[in-house]
Structure 1
Amino acid sequence: LESEGHELVVTTPGAFLGKTKSCIVVKHRGKKTNEVKTTNLNHIFVTGRGVTVSSNVIEFCSERHIPIDYIRFDGKPYARLYSFYDQNARIQLAQLAACGNEKGSAFAKSIVYGKIKNQLNLAKYYHKYRKEKDSTFSTLFREKTSRIELHLKELGETNDSDHDILRGKLFSIEGRAAQNYWEITKRLLAGMLVFEGREGKGATDVVNSMLNYGYGILQAKVWDAVIRSSLSPFISFLHKPQRNKPTFIFDLIEQFRVQAVDRVIFSMINKGVEVTMEKERLSNKTKTRLIGHILERMNTYEKYRGRRIRFVEIIREQARGAALYFTGETKKYLPYIGKW
């Protein structure tokens, strides 16, 4: 897939990134440890501490619209370098205008629908292979998915002229659907790893830590798609705008979490890939394996509205779709829904 684009992930603490005529060179303590052809490089992730990036690399990436994302030990992105040329005031003004009308409310509902539908579809996917082997899982599956279906029906009937009130209703539906989804997940992983339920910031178990880290990698990809589409990361509809928080990224990412991260991690666990913690953090080996699997998923082809394209391109198409929707060039925003 290198001919269509590849990523560079820098995990070594204290590494240095420099540039030659045709390569990005990684050095550690003065010795070259790796080099990557600049041809078709599309993203750099820095996950190690104390990493230095030369101005030559930054200039090269800026000119070619290649983002450099910095990721904390727990997967949370804390900084990003990208070209400031990828902006269009017309699109962002249309995005802002949608905050005060039905267009923004419809977008928020669409995002919640996409997230819940993807959770339901992934549960169905695993039930397809477990129903003959695990009657307990099958019974739980029927109970929980019937509730999720009811939540989807409730979502379709939910409306309010006050967007703040609508936002609260949408989060209520999303939260109740998610509770059923994570209860299915708990049973799915039983006997392989301990998973008592979803926990975000501060998680110390391996499953939640992997989910949090994976969502951080996904967030960087979604942010890149948003910037490429000239959208503002800070003008949001489902999540309430907050100072210094990219709440539109939080909106858009919801439709991708299940297929981009959850499915990848559950598959790793089911296949017996070794995943471990060190001092209540993911071990470096586990991080490296997880990043590799997530990026492999990003470059996997799937059918999308009549075309076969990579998952990362689907993310970009969904961001472009949002821009077209806000500017009035399309009448409806359709969320991404993965097949099962």
Structure 2
Amino acid sequence: MSEVFVEGFGVSVGKKSERLVVKRKGEVIFERPFFEVERVIVCTEGATVSSSAVHECVKNGIPVEFLSYSGKPYASLVSPNLGGTVKTRRAQLLSYEDARGVMLGRAFALGKLRSSANNLKYYAKYRKSADRAAYDFVYRRVDGIEALARQTEDIEGEKVGEVRGALLNVEGRAANLYWEGVRRIVPEFPGREGRGASDLVNSLLNYGYGILYNRVLSAVTRAGLDPFAGYVHTDRPGKPSLVLDLIEEFRAPVVDRAILGALGMGFKVGMDGEYLDEKTRKLAAARVRERLAVRVTHRGKKQTLENIVHAQARSVASFVRDGTPYKPFVGSW
């Protein structure tokens, strides 16, 4: 199965017989049977996608995703028949008002904190001999994050609205510690900045998060969950709060590990004005996709990180619907 990444101006995506065809200025640059295509990602405003290609994609369960030049997802096309059962969505909505919402919110936060701590351990272990001061600096941040994780375990309430402030507080404090550690390891990193970032490191991270976001959105939708009904992130029109909750388990072990690792190996970054240039976007996307294809041990067996994203979404559905215990994913180091 392959992922079709559409970049550049003058590109068209169409259907010919049972094949997906990508052309640039009338010349075929990619052609593949639909049954061999996993997803289509359009990362340019200068492309056209035919209705026949869209129809064939949704018929075959192939998501068509759209990213801005900064990596922000702005649309995703999926089949309306992939949404699972009404029972799951009813249970999801009801869980917001009882202890299930608290348990999920706490689990998402614990996954984020423990994965962040493990990421810093991963970066620090290569500096223990070469730069002891950096190693000690990073491990003080690790200790701080792990202490906050222990505090998170003790957060209790009858419904998630009662504990949201406490969860966001520990997440925010842990994030400050985490990015302090990253800044010591990546000297050119100015500190974390989300929307509107113009520096190279944050631009790469934001672009990678955009790719991951679409993976989580696809997983949540396929699990039969409502992506807009989350727990820790508040409900707002057009805000897929459940996606933003679940993605926290995967930012550090997927995107941060891929992007910061690439920078550590001399990854060359180019900018086109305030955005990453086309070559850099392609390379960054390739790094994130490679990371998603890495196999790690999860629930006693080797699985790709991409499959684990889907497994976690299904676990959320099983928890709210059937009461099956939910355990957050924690990246290893």
In which range does the TM-score fall when normalised by the shorter chain?
A: over 0.9
Partner of 1:106: 103
Number of the residue aligned with 1:250: 244
Which is worse superposed, 69-78 or 276-285?
A: 276-285
User: 2:277 — aligned with what?
Assistant: 283
**SS of the counterpart of 2:101?**
helix
1:198 corresponds to which letter in structure 2?
Answer: R
Q: Residues 226-282 of structure 1, C-alpha deviation per residue, up to 9 Å, x if partnerless?
A: 111111001110111111111110011000001110000111001111112221211
Letter of the structure 2 residue corresponding to residue 29 of structure 1: K
Deviates more, 1:103-112 or 1:292-301: 292-301
Match of 2:127 in 1: 130
Task: Using the TM superposition, give the Cα deviation of residue 329 of structure 1 relative to its aligned residue in structure 2, in angstroms.
Answer: 4.3
Any idea what SS the aligned residue of 2:74 has? strand
Matched residue SS, 1:8 = strand
Provide the rounded CA distance (Å) in 2 between the counterparts of 1:142 and 1:302. Answer: 24
Distance 1:318 1:174 in 2: 20
How far did 1:40 drift? 2.6
Match of 2:298 in 1: 304
Provide, for residues 191-249 of structure 1, a one-character-per-residue CA deviation record: whole Å limited to 9, x for no partner.
xxx21210000100011011111000000000110111111001110111111111110
How many angstroms apart in 2 are the aligned matches of 1:303 and 1:146?
25
How far, CA to CA, are the matches of 2:225 and 2:47 in structure 1? 30
TM norm structure 2: 0.97
Q: Determine the structure 2 residue equivalent to 1:7.
A: 3
- The AA in structure 1 aligned to 2:112 is K
Count how many residue pairs are aligned between Structure 1 and Structure 2: 332
* Matched residue SS, 2:173: helix
- Tell me which amino acid in the other structure corresponds to 1:64: N
1:295 aligns with 2:289: yes
> Partner of 2:200 in structure 1?
206
Deviation larger for 21-30 or 278-287: 21-30
Asked if residue 231 in structure 1 is aligned to residue 225 in structure 2, the reply is yes
Q: Is the 8 A contact 1:14 1:49 kept in 2?
A: no
1:17 aligns with 2:13: yes
Q: Secondary structure at the match of 1:69?
A: strand
Shift of 1:305: 1.2
Deviations 1:6-27 (A, max 9, x none): 2101012231111123421111
Moved over 4 A (4+): none
Give the Cα separation in 1 of the matches to 2:139 and 2:64: 44
Instruction: Give the Cα separation in 2 of the matches to 1:73 and 1:175.
Output: 27
Give CA-to-partner distance per residue, 1:73-100, whole Å, 9 cap, x none.
Answer: 1111111111000122110000001000
Residue 325 of structure 1 is matched in structure 2 by 319
Q: Which runs of 5+ in 1 are unaligned?
A: none
CA deviation digits over 1:23-59, x for unaligned, max 9? Answer: 2111122222222332331110000113111122111
Structure 1 stretch 47-56 or stretch 242-251: which is displaced more? 47-56
**C-alpha distance in 1, partners of 2:16/2:69?**
29
Amino acid at match of 2:147: L
Residue 16 of structure 1 aligns with an amino acid whose one-letter code is: S
Letter in 1 for 2:195: K
Match of 2:153 in 1: 156
Name the structure 2 match of 1:54: 50
Structure 2 residue aligned with 1:335 = 328
Cα distance in 1 for partners of 2:34, 2:157 equals 50
For 2:40, the equivalent position in structure 1 comes to 44
Q: Percent identity?
A: 35
The counterpart of 1:29, out of the listed 25, 29, 32, is 25
SS of 2:4's equivalent?
A: strand
After TM superposition, give the deviation of residue 162 of structure 1 in Å.
Answer: 5.4
Which residue is 1:76 aligned to? 72
Asked whether the equivalents of residues 75 and 215 of structure 1 are also in contact (C-alpha less than 8 Å), the reply is: yes
SS at match of 2:126: helix
Letter in 2 for 1:169: A
With structure 1 as the length reference, what TM-score do the two structures score?
0.95
